[in-house]
Amino acid sequence: MSLGVIPLFKRVVHRALGLLGYRFVKLSKEPPALVVTQVTYPDWSLLGVESSSNTVDLKLPYGIAASALAREAIAAIKEQETKHDYHAIVRLRRQYRRDLKIDKPAVRIIGSGWLKNIGQIAHLDIYFKLKALGMLEPSETIICLDDVTPVNKSLLSYFAPFASHVVPNRAALGEAGNLMELFAESTVSVDLADGDIRLFHSLFYDVAVAWQRQARPPLVTLRPEHRAAGRRWLSSLGLPDDGWFVTFHCRTTRNHQDLRSVRLETYTRAMEAVIRAGGWVVCMGTPNLVDAHPKIINREDHRIPNDDWKDVFLIAGCRFFVGCTSGPADVANAFGVPSIITNTVQIGSQAAHNHDLFIPKLLLSRKTGRLLTIAESLEHHGTACSSNPSDFAALGIDLIDNTPEEIEAVVCEMIKRLDGAAVDIAPWEEAAQQRLREFRIPPLLGHGPIMAGKTRMGRDFLRRNASVLGLIGD
């Protein structure tokens, strides 16, 4: 074969293989140069990391990050990000990792998107349980702070030991930092080991069922040093050494997701019920708590720099937790703390947590003037899964907050449960609870029931609303 024919032959072969889906990457023949990037981060100890110069060499093919195909991959992913097509992003990542031959050994990076609110950090519980259950491809997991300070470093430190490395920024990843978008794990869509792509929230039920079936304990537990320091702190505020407390998280901020916020005054009776039972109350998320009972401690009045471990302690160390549709409820779920979720919205995607008790907001149709049944609430993505007021307004629906009496009743129910008091449950009540478990989340989000594990609707709320919610016959 003449020398002039060889280039032509190569072009023909490349074109033929290209039509079959193969991609080619031209790499430098120069030997790789390992550059150790010195980084400084003041709170490594809070993340369970010993070194302040933590770097990771992923041993990528030399020059891969500068290749035309790599630039094409990053541009394609960023384009899909503008469209919020997260399933497409997962498919692109999978394809380009194969094309660039950087898919083995598997590496996955937990980036800053997981670190900006407390609920998202708590979702690492679900992520690492997915790995433990074999539902994700075996991989080396790296947490990259990406120059973002985690909203709660102490909470992140509970999950850091399940990762191979924790690094402060992309520079610590060397050349791989320029390809981080290809290794990043989405907070929305999950690439499962069987090749399926699912929405993250749709997996809550699957994880809860599989974890309980195997009788596994919580993935994380409160550290003894956090418990001891937390008790000393509460003791300085008046809580007796042998006293118990209940943590209330009342999300009172108002923003574009204000349907998840609640009115503090509707929780006062429930707090008084805890005090009557001999306990204390600690409030989170309520900066304007005034004229409170001496046995009510407002966490927001006692914040000082670098004390975010107290938030973890208050949720993981309380007798039980009372919350709403907000991030701290995910923390309680991760630590396996008995909990009540009040004023629940997003019943089609969020009620699948393994909480003990919940009571939802009721949905009122402006057109008919009647309350919607559970089945009707699940018919529309806007009513089943949204916390955006405009979604409900477009459907002509108003949300009705839980009343003080309803919240007090479900708190008293939890106290009786934990005290071991006998509860007589009428056959029709149990039938209504089972009927509730038959409802499925919308197909767009998954396939499981709207409730997982031992979750039950509060008994008093069920008795008052079983008929209008369509849980029993007329």
Each residue's pLDDT tens digit, 191-222: 999 999 998 888 888 888 889 899 999 999 99
Q: What is the model's pLDDT at position 205? A: 81
**Across residues 147-151, what is the average pLDDT?**
90
Q: Work out the pLDDT band at 41, boundaries 50, 70, 90.
A: very low
> In whole angstroms, how far apart are CA 410 and each of 231, 326, 338, 356, 358?
26, 18, 13, 11, 8
Instruction: State the Cα–Cα distance between residues 23 and 72, nearest whole angstrom.
Output: 12
Q: Are 80 and 189 in contact (CB under 8 A)?
A: no
pLDDT digits (tens, 9 = 90+) for 409-429: 999 999 999 999 988 889 999
Strands 189-191 and 197-199: antiparallel
Instruction: Give 443's contacts (C-beta < 8 A, 6+ positions apart).
Output: none
The residue ranking higher by pLDDT, 404 or 377, is 404
Q: Work out the pLDDT band at 395, boundaries 50, 70, 90.
A: confident
pLDDT digits (tens, 9 = 90+) for 66-89: 899 999 999 999 999 999 999 999
The residue ranking higher by pLDDT, 115 or 29, is 115
Instruction: State the Cα–Cα distance between residues 79 and 132, nearest whole angstrom.
Output: 33
DSSP-assigned letters across all residues of 320-336: EEEE-SSHHHHHHHHHT
Q: What is the model's pLDDT at position 351? A: 45
**Across residues 132-158, what is the average pLDDT?**
93
Instruction: State the Cα–Cα distance between residues 163 and 166, nearest whole angstrom.
Output: 7
Q: What is the model's pLDDT at position 216? A: 92
pTM: predicted TM-score of the whole model, two decimal places: 0.86
Q: What is the model's pLDDT at position 51? A: 46
Instruction: State the Cα–Cα distance between residues 298 and 320, nearest whole angstrom.
Output: 17
Which run of H or E residues covers position 109? Answer: strand 107-110
Reported as half-sphere exposure (CB side, CA atoms, 13 A), residue 465 has a value of 23
Runs of H (alpha helix) within 277-354: 309-316, 327-335
Share of the chain above pLDDT 90, in %: 58
> In whole angstroms, how far apart are CA 143 and each of 51, 111, 162, 185, 230?
15, 6, 10, 10, 27
**Across residues 453-468, what is the average pLDDT?**
91
User: Locate tokens 């990050």: which residue?
Assistant: 65
> In whole angstroms, how far apart are CA 266 and each of 91, 186, 418?
46, 37, 23
Q: What is the model's pLDDT at position 412? A: 97
Q: What is the model's pLDDT at position 230? A: 97
Instruction: State the Cα–Cα distance between residues 447 and 443, nearest whole angstrom.
Output: 6
Instruction: State the Cα–Cα distance between residues 437 and 121, nearest whole angstrom.
Output: 28
pLDDT digits (tens, 9 = 90+) for 89-138: 999 999 999 999 999 889 999 999 999 999 999 999 999 999 999 999 99
Instruction: State the Cα–Cα distance between residues 458 and 423, nearest whole angstrom.
Output: 13
Tokens of 193: 């080991």
Tokens of 276: 């009557």
Q: What is the model's pLDDT at position 70? A: 95
Tell whether the model's pLDDT for residue 257 goes beyond 90: no
Q: What is the model's pLDDT at position 119? A: 93
> In whole angstroms, how far apart are CA 232 and each of 225, 240, 292, 460?
11, 10, 22, 37
Q: What is the model's pLDDT at position 346? A: 77
Surface-to-core class of residue 328, CB atoms within 10 Å of its CB (0-12 exposed, 13-18 middle, 19+ buried): buried
Rg of the chain on CA atoms, in Å: 26
Query: Within 10 A of 358 (CB to CB), how many other CB atoms are there?
Result: 25
Query: What is the average pLDDT value for the chain, to the nearest integer?
Result: 85
Q: What is the model's pLDDT at position 256? A: 43
